[in-house]
Structure 1
Amino acid sequence: MPQLPLDRFKVLDLTRIRSGPTCVKQFADWGADVIKIEPPQDEAGYGNRDSSDFQNLHRNKRSLTLDLKTEEGQEVLGKLIDGADVLVENFRPGVKARLGLDWPTLHARNPRLVLGSISGFGQTGPYADRPGFDQVAQGMGGLMSITGLPGQGPVRVGVPIADLTAGLFCAMGLMMALLERERTGQGQWVQSSLLQAQIAMLDFQAARWLIDGEVPGQAGNDHPTAVPMGVYPTSDGLMNIAVNGARMWRDFCTVISRPDLVESPEYATPKARLANRAALNALLYDLTRTWTTRDLTEALLATGIPCGPINSIDAVFADPQVQHLPIVAEVDHPTRGRQRLVGQPIQIDGISPVMRSATPDCGQHTDEVLSELGYTSDQITALRNGGIA
């Protein structure tokens, strides 16, 4: 097995649903020893293990079952914490305090431990104890107000973007904390929340309000501030075209055989094109419909104008560039056979993430992990018989 960048770290995964597992997946894929701690009964809320979603999220981990509500379960967890580098959780603040997973308690026990906490709305403040849910964060964080066609009403995006980005931001913070630990010898508490992550992902749309005092609205498939940039019809479908700057505008007009538009007062400048977007797009739709998607794509790319087809998911993975990139990973599952998973979008020269193992069965590694902690076979049997492990 090749060495991986994070293979010297032990990570305790007490997360569930999506934001936390997304965070932990970054460590698991890049070599960390991740121990997923689950209730012995595989309680509701931890997901359908047979689903493609669960199988994709939890690869490269070991599974330990443990009842954290018991004294014996807490004792096992304490031994794990003593030897861990990172613990990741997404409990509500009050719950983690009851389980002894609050920062002061953990830091006192293992000063080198780095704690990652993901919440819906933050660890403090008026909403700290509210349950978090991706679509709620999309709504409260403003994303739904700028997604969809003008006048359509709020629309959620097609992936749980708040969950995903909160997990990724937390993973980035944890890695920074591990780097800082190399200098100070001390762990730190890393926090992210769905609401903060969603607001951060508003990016320039948030800046339009914070700096310019402008409240963005829905722009549908059009870019909010640039024209022509959006979805355009062709004779056999739809495609995205992104014309940005004077040079691209001139070349675009040449490709569509309308060089007269370059100097037209209504369309000559970015400000004029934005003000007259509806009229310009209506004109362009009639022109792009005379092309096939492939022909117009090739003509525009020849001039350096970004564009491309709008693919269904199956078409995405049939694309030759996608097949060239190492974005699909494969792993052998003991009962499901060879599985294709969504790989890592990061490439490092000379290093590749390895799909070492498929998503484990609930408690698959309980005996193994307990043995590593020094428990005898009789003690492990007693813990199992007592419903603790």
Structure 2
Amino acid sequence: MTDPDSAPLSGLLVVDLSQFLAGPYAALRLMDLGARVIKIERPETGDLTRSLYLTDTEIGGDSTLFHAINRGKESLALDLKDPGDRAALTRLIARADVLIQNFRPGVIERLGFDWQTVRRINPRLVYGSISGYGEDGPWVDRPGQDLLAQARSGLMWLSGDASDAPVPMGLAVADMFAGATLVQGLLAALVRRGVTGRGGLVQTSLLEALVDLQFEVLTTHLNDGGRRPMRAARGSAHAYLSAPYGVYRAADGWLVIAMMPVPRLADLMGLPLEERWRDDPRTWFTDRDRIRSLIAAKIAQRPVADWLALFEPADIWSAPVMDWPDLLTHPGFTGLGLLQDLRGAARDVTTTAAPLRIDGVRPHCATPSPRIGQHSAAIRAEFGL
């Protein structure tokens, strides 16, 4: 268990006006690093993520998603259309170090808690804002939702096989990467504040985060005449990498092979190769589907364990494709201590812990996500709201 007083952000107060995923994810990471996070929620209904179910599973009346992303936070119920509650929030912001919001552009201005307004209340405040597509432009009023952002970003043409329709990532990658991007900016602004005493505004969007996520392949696209991504015919894992990179079906499961000289792999597997594949590495991409078909046909003949027993001693970069039960019981995972139990909810919650260590210790949080307004009375008393 991490000592709260030794955590890097211990003593910092974060006011979290955000909901759904991107903003709350940023606040979660700050909480894991020691910050105190006060989540502002609507009375009665709270954050809409409370009812955004990943499946039909709920914990204490709230979705598992809400519990996963709001652990360790305090809940203050405020109606931002009520003058008294708006005044209370103003006083809280005056004491805060960080504010996070992810309303659609224009909404926070109408509420009166935009950057230009609150910087006059608290010049030391570091203000974080996440939008869907930036603060202006033709998409500014479009819903900033993960799947919609993926669709606009080009990302959906990088996964799947050549014959597949556009394939979205099976995770809310726009939300998560936007939240992570915001945290980077917030921490940098906090460091600057420590030097200058001046707060600052940090802005990002789902689209910006997804474009940055694609920086490697976009740079290739921008400098090779605008050629579009070319997914492999089957088992594709990267639109721009040559054979043997990809996913292969073995006799009893699946495995992946990463970057590797084709002749070296072929000689180990006993595969026939055309001479030009030995002489010209560029053909590993131009003839990618033909080469991968040869590899796939061979791998299908034997089980995964046989291939790994051949590949790993020869330093062939390969791995089994594991599902969650495989992963969660494997010593390679269990030794990391990446799971934690939260006590005190309607029932105990098992979830992930922070994906980093500080001074050799992984931050852990034993406190579950809050009920709506659970801490309202205590916070009002503490801050004189």
Does the alignment reach a TM-score above 0.5? Answer: yes
Indicate whether 1:34 and 2:37 are aligned.
yes
Query: Which of 332, 337, 340 pairs up with 1:321?
Result: 332
Matched, 1:45 2:61: no
- AA partner of residue 178 (structure 1): L
- Preserved CA contact (<8 Å) 2:41 2:373: yes
- Does the alignment pair 1:284 with 2:295? yes
For residues 228 and 94 of structure 2, the distance between their equivalents in structure 1, rounded to whole angstroms, comes to: 49
Q: Show the counterpart of 2:116.
A: 104
**Conserved? CA contact 1:119–1:132, under 8 Å:** yes
Distance in 1 between the 2:237 and 2:275 partners?
21
CA drift at 1:330: 2.1
The aligned counterpart of 1:19 is 22
In structure 2, the residue corresponding to 1:93 is in which secondary structure?
coil
Q: Tell me the distance in 2 between the aligned counterparts of 1:147 and 1:271.
A: 22
> Is 1:78 aligned with 2:90?
yes
Within a 5 Å distance, the mapping from 1:67-216 to structure 2 comes to 67-213=79-225, 214-216=227-229
Does residue 367 of structure 2 align to residue 369 of structure 1? Answer: no
Structure 2 vs 1, CA of residues 165 and 222 (structure 1 numbering), >3 Å: closer, same or farther? closer
Partner of 2:360: 350
Report SS of the residue matched to 1:298: helix
Give the corresponding residue for 2:251: 235
Distance 1:334 1:137, change over 3 A: closer
The residue identity in structure 1 corresponding to 2:155 is L
Write out per-residue CA displacement over residues 140-173 of structure 1, whole angstroms, 9 at most, x where no aligned residue. Answer: 0001122222132211110011111011100111
CA contact (8 A) 2:49 2:63 kept: no
Following superposition, the deviation at residue 43 of structure 1 comes to: 4.7
In structure 1, what is the Cα distance between the partners aligned to 2:45 and 2:236? Answer: 42
Which residue pairs with 2:236 in the alignment?
Answer: 221
Q: For residue 328 of structure 2, what is the amino acid of its counterpart?
A: F
CA distance in 1, matches of 2:85, 2:167: 43
1:269 Cα deviation from its structure 2 partner: 3.1
- Number of the residue aligned with 2:314: 303
In the alignment, the residues of structure 2 paired with residue 149 and residue 301 of structure 1 have an alpha-carbon distance, to the nearest angstrom, of 27
SS in 2 for 1:64: strand
Runs of 5+ consecutive residues of structure 1 not aligned to the other structure: 376-389
TM normalised by structure 1 equals: 0.90
Query: Bigger shift: 180-189 or 141-150?
Result: 141-150
The alignment's TM-score, normalised by the length of structure 2, stands at: 0.91
CA contact (8 A) 2:158 2:238 kept: no
Deviations 1:87-116 (A, max 9, x none): 000011211001111111011110000000
What is the aligned length? 369
Hey, what does 1:58 align to over in structure 2? 70
State the shift of 1:267 in Å. 4.8
Query: Tell me, which stretches of 5 or more residues in structure 2 are unaligned?
Result: 52-60
CA distance in 2, matches of 1:270, 1:159: 34
Q: Distance in 2 between matches of 1:78 and 1:282?
A: 63
AA aligned to 1:226 is: S
- 3-state SS of 1:16 partner: coil
| Residue 382 (structure 1) aligns with | none
Maintained 8 Å contact 1:94/1:129: no
Cα distance in 2 for partners of 1:222, 1:352 equals 31
In structure 2, do the counterparts of structure 1 residues 333 and 304 end up closer, same or farther at CA, with 3 Å as the change threshold?
farther
Letter in 2 for 1:36: K
Given the alignment of the two structures, is residue 8 of structure 1 paired with residue 11 of structure 2, yes or no?
yes
Letter in 2 for 1:282: S
What RMSD in Å do the two structures reach over aligned CA positions? 1.8
Give me the whole-angstrom Cα distance separating, in 1, the residues matched to 2:278 and 2:166. Answer: 30
Give the superposition deviation at 1:250: 4.4
Aligned amino acid, residue 299 of structure 1: L
CA-to-aligned-CA distance 1:53-112 (integer Å, 9 cap, x gap): 111110010111011111101110011101100000001121100111111101111000
Residues of 1 paired with 2:309 and 2:78: CA distance? Answer: 57
Task: Tell me, in whole angstroms, the C-alpha distance in 1 between the residues paired with 2:181 and 2:315.
Answer: 33
Post-superposition offset of 1:8: 1.8
Query: CA separation in 1, counterparts of 2:98 and 2:325?
Result: 37
Task: Return the alpha-carbon distance in structure 2 between the equivalents of residues 325 and 106 of structure 1.
Answer: 41
Q: Give 1:268 shift.
A: 4.1
| Structure 1 consecutive aligned stretches of length 4 or more whose deviation exceeds 4 Å | none
